[in-house]
């Protein structure tokens, strides 16, 4: 995950209320009847794009004027302004859920706007939430729907949000809330909106640096407003194991999250349609586990003990890690789990077979005379992925756990989290894509916030992400060919915080440091097209909707 490449260079108002996450094919055609490809808070012309500038946010001055486009981060994909007074919160405003499944979304929005939840029918001034097949579709029906799509109609002083699913309804409430914070109203018109990528997230290393449950929950609320839908928690590393374990309490570090705290975090995330993805990294980055189980420590021919490397030739090593994977499968009930696989020290030596003859011997015994240590490591990750698959999880693994050639091949199902192109036997993203693997983009050139900036890392800026990065830019600064860049191949991405030098920043400094990069990442995962709004205007927008 980009921490140990020390020998290699990496880089060649109203809004006083404070803020307390299924694949989707979205076709945005320039010729859509009556829609504009915009999403800013500019002064909307009748059919002209209005996402390009900060524009005017004054209410219309007469019946022949159009109000401003929504103020939202990420920007809405389509907005059609029409003449009319728009919507404002009044003493009579209520939030009216159209079904029991939407009561949570209704209550959250009502609390944020300080208005009541009520039963229908809806009336002037109300906000009606409902599900329907037309969620996210344009009036002409040319924008495909899906669970994360929504359609927001502001008409005759009332707001109606129709989502393809509960998540779509929730995202519609975020657009309404942010616009209300920025403008104090919502202009007359229609939003048709949906994300470009199904996986949009934030990855947090809680092993090397302790982040409190409250800090994590604050980020979840921030992520919800940004329409991000995944939170990956890196639970274990050489420094610590940060979640309570009943199967192996001896490995748990202090401070750590209790299971009750984790359930609270998972529950809050679910209320924002965010899936929490646990990562128990192996066969490297297990120093905290090995401190309690030194008998499982990998040793070289000379007796050296590479930090964090477990001896994958020992059945007891696999048993311990699998017990943890199974235990945490229920604690984190989402559909994904991360098995790690990166930076196994045995594969980072010039001659693994000579340096670790025990691993080489085991590889030949298991897989034949041509097998190497690489094959044994591939088999290890295959087995961990199979354990997760049996628990109903989709395994994700780091790309440097996926090796070229060899006797043993990576198994399926799995998704590849691509972060680096500087591993031994480095492989271009296109190589994985040609082999049919689906990728989640964690490009360390743009998306890695590594505390202390070791090994030539520098803190990423939101401006670089906003102006240069897209989901297709998986490695370095160049995008993969267009034929590999679709949402069916590159599923999305995550912005990541790593605690290499844990004391380099306080948790408050981290929160402030990642605020704009996280917002920029959310923008580009929702809509990867080059933004028409300048970076300076985007920053102003983030400040307005916060």
Please state the three-class secondary structure of 450-475 as a single string: ECCCCCCCCCCCHHHHHHHCCCCCCE
Give percent above pLDDT 70 in the chain. 86
Asked if residue 25 has pLDDT above 60, the reply is no
d(CA 114, CA 404): 57
| pLDDT, position 265 | 98
How far apart (Å, rounded) are the C-alpha atoms in residues 321 and 324? Answer: 5
Q: Is 467 exposed, middle or buried (0-12, 13-18, 19+ CB in 10 A)?
A: middle
Q: Is 257 helix (H, G, I), strand (E, B) or coil?
A: strand
In 268-324, DSSP assigns E strands to: 275-282
Instruction: For residues 158 and 186, give the distance between their C-alpha atoms in angstroms, rounded to a whole number.
Output: 10
Provide the pLDDT for residue 518: 98
Structural domains of the chain, ranges and CATH numbers in brackets: 78-193 (3.30.379.10), 199-545 (3.20.20.80)
Q: Map residue 363 onto helix, strand or coil.
A: helix
What lies within 8 Å, CB to CB, of 223 at 6+ separation is: 21, 201, 202, 229, 231, 272, 274, 518
> How far apart are the C-alpha atoms of 438 and 422, rounded to whole Å?
20
What is the reported pTM?
Answer: 0.89
Query: Helix and strand tally (H, E) in the chain?
Result: 13, 15
Least confident range of 43-52, 151-160, 353-362, 363-372: 43-52
Query: Quick one: pLDDT band at residue 24, thresholds 50, 70, 90?
Result: very low
Instruction: Give yes or no for residue 371 having a pLDDT over 50.
Output: yes
**Active-site residue 343, yes or no?**
yes
pLDDT of amino acid 99: 94
Q: Which residues of 47-66 are buried (b: 16+ CB within 10 A; e: fewer)?
A: eebbbbebbebeebeeeeeb
Residue 109 has which token pair?
A: 């929005």
Contact 526, 519 (CB under 8 A): no
Other beta carbons within 10 Å of 508? 9
Q: Average pLDDT for residues 143-155, to the nearest whole number?
A: 89
- 127 bridge partner residues: 95, 159
Spatial distance between the Cα atoms of 199 and 526, rounded to a whole number of angstroms: 10
pLDDT for res 70: 98
196 backbone dihedrals φ, ψ, rounded to 5°: -75, -40
Q: Is 288 left (phi over 0), alpha (psi -120 to 50) or beta?
A: alpha
Contact 152, 193 (CB under 8 A): yes
- Of 105, 343, 423, 445, catalytic: 343
What is the arithmetic mean of pLDDT over 376-389?
98
DSSP H/E element including 97: strand 95-97
pLDDT score, position 32? 32
Whether residue 27 has pLDDT greater than 60: no
What element of type H or E holds 179?
A: helix 166-183
Q: Are 246 and 261 in contact (CB under 8 A)?
A: no
In the chain the first and final C-alpha atoms are separated, in Å, by 31
> 492, 448, 458: which is closest to 472 by C-alpha?
492
| More confident of the two residues 266 and 424 | 266
Q: What letters, b where the CB count within 10 A reaches 16 and e where it falls short, cover 296-325?
A: bbbebeeeeebebbbbbbbeebbebbbebb
The arithmetic mean of pLDDT across residues 154-183, rounded, is 97
Residue 188 burial by Cβ neighbours in a 10 Å radius (0-12, 13-18, 19+): buried
Q: Rounded mean pLDDT of 404-421?
A: 95
With bands split at pLDDT 50, 70 and 90, how would you rate the model's confidence at 38?
very low
54/342: higher pLDDT: 342
> Does the structure show a pLDDT above 60 at 62?
no
Q: What confidence tier does 60 reach under pLDDT thresholds 50, 70, 90?
A: low
The model's confidence at residue 44, banded by pLDDT at 50, 70 and 90, is very low
- What is the arithmetic mean of pLDDT over 420-447? 92
């Amino acid at each position: 995950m980009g921490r140990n490449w020390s020998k290699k260079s990496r880089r060649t108002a109203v809004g006083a209320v404070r803020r307390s996450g299924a694949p989707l094919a979205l076709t945005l055609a320039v010729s859509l009847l009556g829609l504009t490809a915009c999403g800013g808070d500019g002064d909307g012309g009748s059919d002209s794009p209005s996402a390009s500038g900060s524009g005017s946010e004054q209410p219309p001055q007469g019946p022949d004027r159009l109000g401003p486009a929504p103020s939202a981060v990420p920007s809405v994909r389509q907005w059609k302004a029409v003449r009319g007074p728009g919507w404002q919160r009044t003493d009579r405003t209520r939030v009216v859920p159209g079904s029991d499944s939407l009561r949570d979304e209704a209550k959250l929005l009502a609390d944020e706007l300080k208005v009541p939840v009520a039963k229908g029918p809806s009336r002037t001034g109300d906000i009606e939430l409902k599900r329907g097949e037309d969620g996210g579709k344009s009036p002409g029906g040319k924008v495909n729907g899906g669970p994360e799509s929504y359609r927001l109609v502001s008409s005759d002083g009332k707001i109606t949000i129709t989502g393809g699913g509960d998540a779509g309804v929730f995202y519609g409430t975020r657009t309404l809330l942010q616009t209300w914070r920025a403008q104090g109203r919502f202009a007359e018109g229609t939003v048709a909106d949906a994300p470009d990528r199904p996986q949009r997230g934030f990855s947090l290393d809680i092993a090397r640096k302790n982040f409190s449950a409250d800090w994590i929950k604050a980020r979840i609320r921030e992520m919800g407003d940004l329409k991000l839908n995944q939170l990956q928690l890196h639970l274990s590393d050489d420094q610590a194991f940060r979640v309570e374990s009943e199967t192996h309490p001896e490995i748990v570090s202090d401070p750590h999250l209790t299971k009750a705290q984790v359930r609270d975090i998972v529950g809050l995330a679910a209320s924002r349609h965010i899936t929490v993805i646990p990562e128990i990294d192996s066969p490297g980055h297990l120093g905290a586990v090995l401190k309690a189980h030194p008998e499982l420590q990998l040793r070289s021919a000379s007796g050296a003990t590479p930090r964090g490397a477990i001896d994958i030739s020992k059945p007891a090593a696999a048993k311990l890690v699998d017990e943890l994977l199974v235990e945490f499968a229920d604690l984190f009930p989402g559909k994904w789990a991360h098995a790690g696989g990166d930076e196994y020290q045995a594969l980072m030596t010039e001659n693994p077979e000579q340096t670790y003859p025990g691993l080489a011997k085991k590889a030949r015994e298991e897989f034949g005379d041509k097998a190497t240590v690489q094959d044994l490591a591939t088999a290890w990750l295959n087995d961990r992925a199979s354990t997760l698959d049996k628990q109903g999880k989709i395994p994700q693994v780091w790309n440097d756990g996926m090796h070229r050639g060899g006797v043993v091949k990576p198994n399926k199902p799995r998704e590849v989290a691509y972060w680096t192109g500087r591993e031994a036997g480095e492989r271009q993203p296109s190589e994985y894509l040609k082999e049919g693997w689906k990728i989640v983009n964690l490009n360390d050139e743009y998306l890695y916030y590594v505390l202390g900036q070791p090994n030539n890392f520098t803190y990423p800026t939101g401006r670089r992400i906003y102006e240069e990065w897209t989901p297709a830019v998986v490695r370095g600064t160049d995008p993969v060919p267009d034929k590999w860049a679709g949402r069916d191949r590159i599923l999305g991405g995550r912005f990541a915080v790593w605690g290499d030098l844990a004391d380099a920043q306080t948790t408050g400094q981290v929160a402030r440091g990642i605020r704009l990069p996280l917002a920029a990442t959310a923008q580009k995962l929702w809509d990867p097209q080059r933004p028409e709004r300048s970076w300076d205007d985007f920053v102003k927008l983030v400040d307005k909707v916060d």
